[in-house]
Amino acid sequence: MGESNLPVEDIRLSKGISVKDLVSQLANSGFQAQHLGEAVEIIREAKKENAFTFLSFTSNMAASGLRGIFIDLAKNRKIGAVVTSSGSFDEDIIRSEKPYLQGSFESDDEKLGDEGINRMGNIFVPGDRYEFLETKVSSMLAEIYKTKKELTTSELMAEVGSRLNENSFLYWCSRNSIPVFCPGITDGAFGTQLAFFQQKHSDFKIDVVRDFSKIMDYSFLEKKKCAIILGGGIAKHHTIISNLLGGGFDYAVYINSSSPYHGSLSGATTSEAKSWGKIKAGSKAVTIYGDAAILFPLLIASAEEFL
């Protein structure tokens, strides 16, 4: 957000210190902690300005405890739209009824494979979870097909969410009319079930292009727009390119662990996005490098407007 020439301050910890007070100190301590402090102020101002907020995240985020924050943000209507990848639907549908397990990065993967356990970093997903997903999704698609044979992705996810329980971010997005956009709907186990269902019902269509028109409408209709983007990939790019024609975002916070030096979109900074017009020139934006599983809870817990 610019140079202030203020002194770097030492962090002072005490018993019972609140998250808000800790992050307030981090804001003046340098390195990525300083960027976290900037991010808190950005999203607080965005909320005060009634900026329409896009939340974008990759599917691995939904496999972690971050899913609980996504649920609360949707339940409390703190976000206006979600952009994610197809795997998020796998994680949300399964975890709404069955847990994932804590594991280790250093596990014997061949042994896990023999035991029917899929590893996602240090999160274990037993194979029977996908058996549950297959049964659940095929049943929901059959119900949806009875009344609707052509849907956009966001319309489909609203239908799916309405058939899940309250321990689901898709449920709360559906209930509160928060659209969930997914440009890469086939890239996951949920997408596999879509393909299988369409093989049996050739008139069942999912229109991704029409959904792109819908998400672009927000770019033109909303006066102020904010992007909170966790991770990279297609979800990140879909979020920012959809707002290009409408002049770009007024506020933006990126949290990712990718480097910008190999030219990928995943590692691209908020500053780079300004060269494209995806984020407005002169807007308040910051990139935080680090693990969203740690940084995002600190960010949200420090901004009362999002609680």
Q: Which of 264, 257, 249 is nearest to 230 (CA)?
A: 257
As a residue count, the chain comes to 307
Burial of 221 (0-12, 13-18, 19+ CB in 10 A): exposed
Residue whose tokens read 């599917």: 59
Active site residues: 278
Give the whole-angstrom CA distance, residue 291 versus residue 231: 9
Question: What tokens does 203 get?
Answer: 């008139």
Contact 91, 63 (CB under 8 A): yes
Contact 250, 225 (CB under 8 A): yes
Q: How far, in whole angstroms, is CA 239 from its chain's centroid?
A: 10
- Strand duo 249-256 + 279-289: pairing: parallel
